[in-house]
Amino acid sequence: MSAERSKGGTDDLAGARFGPRNARAGSEGLENNAANEFDRAKEAAQFILSQSKLRPKIALVLGSGLGAFADEFAGAVKLPYHTIPYFPRSTAIGHAGNLVIGKVGDTPVAAMQGRVHLYEGYSVYEVTFPIRVFARMGVEAVILTNAAGGILRELTQGRLVLISDHINLQGANPLIGPNDERCGLRFPDMTTAYDKKFRAIAAAEAVRAGTTMPEGVYAALAGPSYETPAEIRYLRTIGADLVGMSTVPEVIAARHSGIRVLGISCVTNAAAGVIDRPLVHTKVLEVAERVKGQFIALLKAVIPRIAAELK
């Protein structure tokens, strides 16, 4: 693969990428690739900021079927991913592929309508590139949302769950390879990867709205096949409450960059074997659409409080 991809993205997912950071590349090539990643993120951030006078300190990644929230931003500027230098393009159903900058109330925000995943053929570095761009934009907090399978029976369809911790079973980590000190420390602490204060804010706003938000541990697998019942039994045994195919690489990159994280899962289906029913992605999107109002109301309440926490 080429060590450089075109600025406008590529239609060929098997084509040019950032370049794999593996032992075959040689130490000099690896170091150059790490430096190039920082420079590319800086260039992308400068382009995005040139399109709006807003300077958001909060960013959101809106997962499967959850992107409608960004359509409600005031004074919004919408940038398709393919217009942003080096930005990866979403190919998954339910991911619109736009970066939206606007306001929620008086709070400037940037939101991704959809993300990219390892299962689309992207490297872990490309999956986390948007987080690197957010860091170069001056973002201090990110709200990561996803559609997840409920491993616990009480996590029924439509429940919103605060992610308290994660288990990375994707076989990939965005920090592998030479570390660029401009991005963060070589060995970032992950003890409180999901910000306790942000979780308390979200839980309090859920109660204020007349509901509750349980907390859960999210297990990330590579996908795109759904998990087998045996795999779900294994995940339950090792302490997972939720399962999905995203989010964890973004959390690692965010914490490496010093960005605080709030993670919210929308339980769109019971995990394999929990109930005797096959898993279908269209049903995932249907459930996300059903809880859209509750989800948007929660974010509208949480974002101003997080903004106040950052001051």
Give the CA radius of gyration of the chain. Answer: 18
Among 245, 270, 272, 307, the one annotated catalytic: 245
Contact present, 124 and 118 (Cβ < 8 Å):
yes
**245 given a catalytic annotation:** yes
**181 given a catalytic annotation:** no
**179 given a catalytic annotation:** no
CA dihedral angle for residue 92, residue 164, residue 290, residue 276, rounded to 10 degrees = 80
Calculate ∠ Cα 189-194-200, nearest 5°. 135
**147 given a catalytic annotation:** yes
**64 given a catalytic annotation:** yes
**190 given a catalytic annotation:** no
**14 given a catalytic annotation:** no
Among 137, 193, 269, 272, the one annotated catalytic: 269
Q: Tokens in use for 28?
A: 């000099």
Among 34, 37, 44, 95, the one annotated catalytic: 95
Which of 84, 86, 149, 147 minimizes the C-alpha distance to 110?
A: 84
Among 246, 253, 265, 271, the one annotated catalytic: 246
**119 given a catalytic annotation:** yes
113 in helix, strand or coil?
Answer: strand
Which of 201, 216, 193, 211 minimizes the C-alpha distance to 303?
A: 201
Among 59, 86, 98, 120, the one annotated catalytic: 120
Burial of 75 (0-12, 13-18, 19+ CB in 10 A): exposed
Helix then strand then coil, in percent of the chain rounded to 5, is 35, 20, 40
Do the strands 242-244 and 141-150 form a parallel or antiparallel pair, or are they unpaired?
antiparallel
Among 64, 98, 123, 146, the one annotated catalytic: 64
Phi, then psi, of 107 in degrees rounded to 5 = -100, 120
Q: What are the residue numbers of the active site?
A: 64, 95, 117, 119-120, 147, 245-246, 269, 281
